Protein backbone atom coordinates (compact mmCIF):
# COMPACT_ATOMS: atom_id res chain seq x y z
CA UNK A 1 0.00 0.00 0.00
CA UNK A 2 1.46 3.34 -1.03
CA UNK A 3 0.18 5.42 1.88
CA UNK A 4 2.38 8.37 1.01
CA UNK A 5 0.69 8.55 -2.38
CA UNK A 6 -2.82 8.43 -0.91
CA UNK A 7 -1.83 11.17 1.50
CA UNK A 8 -0.27 13.25 -1.29
CA UNK A 9 -3.36 13.02 -3.49
CA UNK A 10 -5.70 13.68 -0.58
CA UNK A 11 -3.82 16.72 0.69
CA UNK A 12 -3.38 18.06 -2.82
CA UNK A 13 -7.10 17.85 -3.47
CA UNK A 14 -7.93 19.39 -0.11
CA UNK A 15 -5.56 22.26 -0.91
CA UNK A 16 -7.41 22.75 -4.19
CA UNK A 17 -10.62 22.97 -2.19
CA UNK A 18 -8.97 25.53 0.08
CA UNK A 19 -8.16 27.72 -2.90
CA UNK A 20 -11.74 27.65 -4.12
CA UNK A 21 -13.25 27.81 -0.64
CA UNK A 22 -15.56 30.66 -1.42
CA UNK A 23 -17.27 29.14 -4.41
CA UNK A 24 -17.30 25.65 -2.96
CA UNK A 25 -18.90 26.59 0.35
CA UNK A 26 -20.67 29.90 -0.09
CA UNK A 27 -22.61 28.99 -3.22
CA UNK A 28 -24.29 25.85 -1.83
CA UNK A 29 -25.01 27.58 1.48
CA UNK A 30 -26.67 30.49 -0.25
CA UNK A 31 -28.68 28.15 -2.50
CA UNK A 32 -29.88 26.09 0.44
CA UNK A 33 -30.80 29.19 2.41
CA UNK A 34 -32.94 30.30 -0.51
CA UNK A 35 -34.75 26.96 -0.46
CA UNK A 36 -35.49 27.42 3.23
CA UNK A 37 -36.73 30.93 2.77
CA UNK A 38 -39.00 29.98 -0.13
CA UNK A 39 -40.14 26.47 0.80
CA UNK A 40 -39.71 26.63 4.53
CA UNK A 41 -40.84 30.08 5.51
CA UNK A 42 -42.87 31.44 2.60
CA UNK A 43 -44.72 28.43 1.18
CA UNK A 44 -44.11 26.02 4.02
CA UNK A 45 -46.36 27.82 6.47
CA UNK A 46 -49.31 27.03 4.21
CA UNK A 47 -48.45 23.34 3.93
CA UNK A 48 -49.70 20.94 6.56
CA UNK A 49 -47.30 19.09 8.84
CA UNK A 50 -46.16 15.74 7.43
CA UNK A 51 -46.39 12.95 9.98
CA UNK A 52 -45.99 15.48 12.76
CA UNK A 53 -43.03 17.33 11.24
CA UNK A 54 -43.41 20.93 10.08
CA UNK A 55 -42.80 21.26 6.35
CA UNK A 56 -39.72 23.47 6.70
CA UNK A 57 -38.04 20.85 8.87
CA UNK A 58 -39.32 17.97 6.74
CA UNK A 59 -37.36 19.13 3.70
CA UNK A 60 -34.02 19.57 5.55
CA UNK A 61 -32.71 16.02 5.04
CA UNK A 62 -33.73 16.05 1.37
CA UNK A 63 -32.07 19.40 0.78
CA UNK A 64 -28.86 18.24 2.42
CA UNK A 65 -28.98 15.15 0.19
CA UNK A 66 -29.57 17.32 -2.87
CA UNK A 67 -26.45 19.34 -2.09
CA UNK A 68 -24.47 16.30 -1.03
CA UNK A 69 -25.18 14.46 -4.29
CA UNK A 70 -24.58 17.35 -6.66
CA UNK A 71 -21.48 18.59 -4.82
CA UNK A 72 -19.97 15.11 -4.46
CA UNK A 73 -20.41 14.38 -8.14
CA UNK A 74 -19.15 17.74 -9.36
CA UNK A 75 -16.18 17.93 -6.96
CA UNK A 76 -14.93 14.46 -7.61
CA UNK A 77 -15.47 14.63 -11.36
CA UNK A 78 -13.66 17.95 -11.55
CA UNK A 79 -10.81 16.66 -9.35
CA UNK A 80 -9.93 13.82 -11.70
CA UNK A 81 -10.88 15.58 -14.93
CA UNK A 82 -8.48 18.48 -14.34
CA UNK A 83 -5.23 16.49 -14.42
CA UNK A 84 -6.48 14.76 -17.56
CA UNK A 85 -7.32 18.10 -19.09
CA UNK A 86 -4.07 19.87 -18.11
CA UNK A 87 -1.87 16.91 -19.01
CA UNK A 88 -0.55 16.24 -15.50
CA UNK A 89 -2.19 12.83 -15.37
CA UNK A 90 0.88 11.24 -16.96
CA UNK A 91 2.49 11.48 -13.56
CA UNK A 92 -0.20 9.46 -11.82
CA UNK A 93 -0.13 6.82 -14.56
CA UNK A 94 3.64 6.49 -14.22
CA UNK A 95 3.67 6.45 -10.42
CA UNK A 96 3.77 3.36 -8.21
CA UNK A 97 0.12 3.79 -7.20
CA UNK A 98 -2.67 1.28 -7.62
CA UNK A 99 -6.16 2.06 -8.87
CA UNK A 100 -7.47 1.59 -5.37
CA UNK A 101 -5.00 4.09 -3.91
CA UNK A 102 -5.86 6.66 -6.55
CA UNK A 103 -9.55 6.20 -5.86
CA UNK A 104 -9.09 6.47 -2.09
CA UNK A 105 -7.12 9.70 -2.49
CA UNK A 106 -9.44 11.46 -4.92
CA UNK A 107 -12.75 10.11 -3.69
CA UNK A 108 -11.72 10.52 -0.07
CA UNK A 109 -10.94 14.19 -0.58
CA UNK A 110 -14.15 14.87 -2.51
CA UNK A 111 -16.22 13.03 0.09
CA UNK A 112 -14.55 14.89 2.96
CA UNK A 113 -15.44 18.15 1.34
CA UNK A 114 -19.05 17.04 0.79
CA UNK A 115 -19.44 15.89 4.39
CA UNK A 116 -18.13 19.22 5.70
CA UNK A 117 -20.50 20.99 3.35
CA UNK A 118 -23.41 18.82 4.49
CA UNK A 119 -22.72 19.72 8.10
CA UNK A 120 -22.48 23.43 7.26
CA UNK A 121 -25.83 23.23 5.49
CA UNK A 122 -27.29 21.38 8.45
CA UNK A 123 -26.12 24.17 10.73
CA UNK A 124 -27.54 26.75 8.32
CA UNK A 125 -30.87 24.92 8.34
CA UNK A 126 -30.88 25.08 12.13
CA UNK A 127 -31.07 28.86 11.83
CA UNK A 128 -34.33 28.66 9.88
CA UNK A 129 -36.27 25.71 11.26
CA UNK A 130 -36.43 23.66 14.47
CA UNK A 131 -34.26 20.58 13.99
CA UNK A 132 -34.40 17.26 15.75
CA UNK A 133 -31.98 14.44 15.09
CA UNK A 134 -33.29 11.14 16.38
CA UNK A 135 -30.34 8.97 15.36
CA UNK A 136 -27.19 11.17 15.10
CA UNK A 137 -24.86 8.20 14.59
CA UNK A 138 -26.90 6.94 11.66
CA UNK A 139 -27.26 10.46 10.35
CA UNK A 140 -23.48 10.90 10.22
CA UNK A 141 -22.95 7.39 8.86
CA UNK A 142 -25.43 7.93 6.04
CA UNK A 143 -23.90 11.31 5.29
CA UNK A 144 -20.45 9.75 4.89
CA UNK A 145 -21.68 6.71 2.95
CA UNK A 146 -23.64 8.86 0.51
CA UNK A 147 -20.77 11.30 0.08
CA UNK A 148 -18.35 8.46 -0.68
CA UNK A 149 -20.72 6.70 -3.07
CA UNK A 150 -21.51 9.78 -5.11
CA UNK A 151 -17.94 11.03 -5.07
CA UNK A 152 -17.05 7.70 -6.61
CA UNK A 153 -19.74 8.22 -9.23
CA UNK A 154 -18.26 11.67 -9.87
CA UNK A 155 -14.78 10.15 -10.19
CA UNK A 156 -16.02 7.78 -12.88
CA UNK A 157 -17.78 10.62 -14.69
CA UNK A 158 -14.56 12.65 -14.53
CA UNK A 159 -12.71 9.84 -16.30
CA UNK A 160 -15.47 9.27 -18.84
CA UNK A 161 -15.97 12.97 -19.68
CA UNK A 162 -14.17 14.30 -22.72
CA UNK A 163 -15.10 17.93 -22.16
CA UNK A 164 -16.55 20.35 -19.66
CA UNK A 165 -20.09 19.97 -21.06
CA UNK A 166 -20.12 16.28 -20.27
CA UNK A 167 -18.73 17.07 -16.86
CA UNK A 168 -21.76 19.22 -16.08
CA UNK A 169 -24.23 17.06 -17.91
CA UNK A 170 -24.69 14.38 -15.25
CA UNK A 171 -25.11 16.58 -12.17
CA UNK A 172 -27.50 18.84 -14.02
CA UNK A 173 -29.56 16.41 -16.04
CA UNK A 174 -29.43 13.29 -13.89
CA UNK A 175 -28.72 14.02 -10.24
CA UNK A 176 -30.89 17.12 -9.82
CA UNK A 177 -34.05 15.63 -11.43
CA UNK A 178 -33.63 12.36 -9.55
CA UNK A 179 -33.32 14.27 -6.29
CA UNK A 180 -36.32 16.49 -6.96
CA UNK A 181 -38.36 13.42 -7.87
CA UNK A 182 -36.85 11.44 -5.03
CA UNK A 183 -39.00 12.70 -2.20
CA UNK A 184 -36.91 15.69 -1.21
CA UNK A 185 -39.91 18.00 -1.00
CA UNK A 186 -42.68 15.49 -0.31
CA UNK A 187 -43.35 12.11 1.18
CA UNK A 188 -43.84 9.61 -1.64
CA UNK A 189 -47.02 8.53 0.14
CA UNK A 190 -48.73 11.54 -1.42
CA UNK A 191 -48.19 10.11 -4.93
CA UNK A 192 -50.74 7.90 -6.73
CA UNK A 193 -49.88 4.19 -6.26
CA UNK A 194 -48.61 3.75 -9.82
CA UNK A 195 -46.13 6.62 -9.40
CA UNK A 196 -45.06 5.29 -6.04
CA UNK A 197 -43.92 2.10 -7.79
CA UNK A 198 -42.08 4.04 -10.49
CA UNK A 199 -40.38 6.12 -7.81
CA UNK A 200 -38.94 3.01 -6.20
CA UNK A 201 -36.60 2.69 -9.22
CA UNK A 202 -35.08 6.02 -8.30
CA UNK A 203 -32.05 5.29 -6.09
CA UNK A 204 -32.22 8.75 -4.53
CA UNK A 205 -35.54 7.85 -2.89
CA UNK A 206 -33.70 5.34 -0.73
CA UNK A 207 -31.05 7.84 0.30
CA UNK A 208 -33.47 10.62 1.16
CA UNK A 209 -35.81 8.26 2.96
CA UNK A 210 -33.09 6.74 5.15
CA UNK A 211 -31.57 10.11 5.85
CA UNK A 212 -34.92 11.56 6.88
CA UNK A 213 -35.47 8.55 9.11
CA UNK A 214 -32.22 9.38 10.95
CA UNK A 215 -33.72 12.80 11.73
CA UNK A 216 -37.38 12.20 12.45
CA UNK A 217 -37.79 8.45 12.64
CA UNK A 218 -40.15 8.45 9.66
CA UNK A 219 -39.30 6.73 6.38
CA UNK A 220 -40.88 6.03 3.00
CA UNK A 221 -38.96 2.79 2.56
CA UNK A 222 -37.29 0.35 4.93
CA UNK A 223 -33.96 1.64 6.25
CA UNK A 224 -32.42 -1.76 5.56
CA UNK A 225 -33.46 -1.53 1.90
CA UNK A 226 -31.94 1.94 1.72
CA UNK A 227 -28.64 0.73 3.07
CA UNK A 228 -28.61 -2.26 0.73
CA UNK A 229 -29.27 -0.06 -2.33
CA UNK A 230 -26.55 2.41 -1.35
CA UNK A 231 -23.98 -0.29 -0.67
CA UNK A 232 -24.81 -2.02 -3.95
CA UNK A 233 -24.30 1.29 -5.73
CA UNK A 234 -20.95 1.76 -3.98
CA UNK A 235 -19.83 -1.74 -4.95
CA UNK A 236 -20.81 -1.14 -8.58
CA UNK A 237 -18.79 2.10 -8.54
CA UNK A 238 -15.72 0.36 -7.13
CA UNK A 239 -16.00 -2.36 -9.76
CA UNK A 240 -16.22 0.26 -12.50
CA UNK A 241 -13.17 2.10 -11.17
CA UNK A 242 -11.21 -1.15 -11.00
CA UNK A 243 -12.18 -1.95 -14.58
CA UNK A 244 -11.16 1.54 -15.74
CA UNK A 245 -7.63 1.21 -14.41
CA UNK A 246 -7.32 -2.39 -15.50
CA UNK A 247 -8.17 -1.62 -19.09
CA UNK A 248 -6.77 1.91 -19.15
CA UNK A 249 -10.13 3.15 -20.43
CA UNK A 250 -9.79 6.82 -21.46
CA UNK A 251 -6.49 6.92 -19.58
CA UNK A 252 -3.88 4.98 -21.52
CA UNK A 253 -3.27 4.74 -25.23
Partner 1 sequence: MHPIISISKLSKTYATGQQALRNVDLEIRRGEIFGLLGPNGAGKTTLIGAVCGIVRPSAGSVSVGGHDIVREWRAARTLIGLVPQELTNNAFDSVLGTVRFSRGLFGKPPDPARLQQVLEELSLWERRDSRVMTLSGGMKRRMLIAKALAHDPQVLFLDEPTAGVDVELRQGMWQAVRRLREAGVTIILTTHYIEEAELVADRIGVINHGEIVVVDDKAALMQRLGRKQLTLELQAPLDALPPALAARGLALAAGGRELVYSYDAQAEASGIADLLGELEQTGVGFRDLRTTQSSLEDIFVDLVRQRR
* CB-nearer residue toward partner 1: 5 or 145: 5
Q: Does 132 bind partner 1 (CB under 8 A)?
A: no
**CB nearer to partner 1: pick between 48 and 86:** 86
d(CA 66, CA 179): 6
**Non-local CB neighbours of 69 within 8 Å, separated by 6+ positions:** 146, 150, 175, 179, 204, 207
In the bound state with partner 1, the residue whose beta carbon lies nearer, of 23 and 86, is: 86
Among 23, 86, 127, 194, binds partner 1 (CB under 8 A): 86
Regarding 119 and contact with partner 1 (CB under 8 A), the answer is no
**Reduced to 3 states, what is the DSSP secondary structure of residue 156?**
helix
Choose between 11 and 30: whose C-beta lies nearer to partner 1. Answer: 11
End-to-end CA distance of the chain: 26
The secondary structure of the chain in percent helix, strand, coil, rounded to multiples of 5, reads: 80, 0, 20
CA-CA-CA-CA torsion sign (137, 141, 142, 147): positive
Binding partner 1 by CB under 8 A: which of 9, 145, 147, 156?
A: 9
Q: Which residues bind partner 1 (CB under 8 A)?
A: 2, 4-5, 7-9, 11-12, 15-16, 19, 82-83, 86-88, 90-98, 248, 252-253
Amino acid sequence: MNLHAIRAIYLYEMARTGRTLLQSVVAPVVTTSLYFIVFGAAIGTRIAEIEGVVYGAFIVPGLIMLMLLTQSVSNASFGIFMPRFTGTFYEILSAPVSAFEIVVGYVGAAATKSVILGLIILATAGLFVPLRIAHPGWMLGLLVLTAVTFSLLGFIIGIWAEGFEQLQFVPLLVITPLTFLGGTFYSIDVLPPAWQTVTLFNPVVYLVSAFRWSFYGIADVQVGASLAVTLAFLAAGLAAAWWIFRTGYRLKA
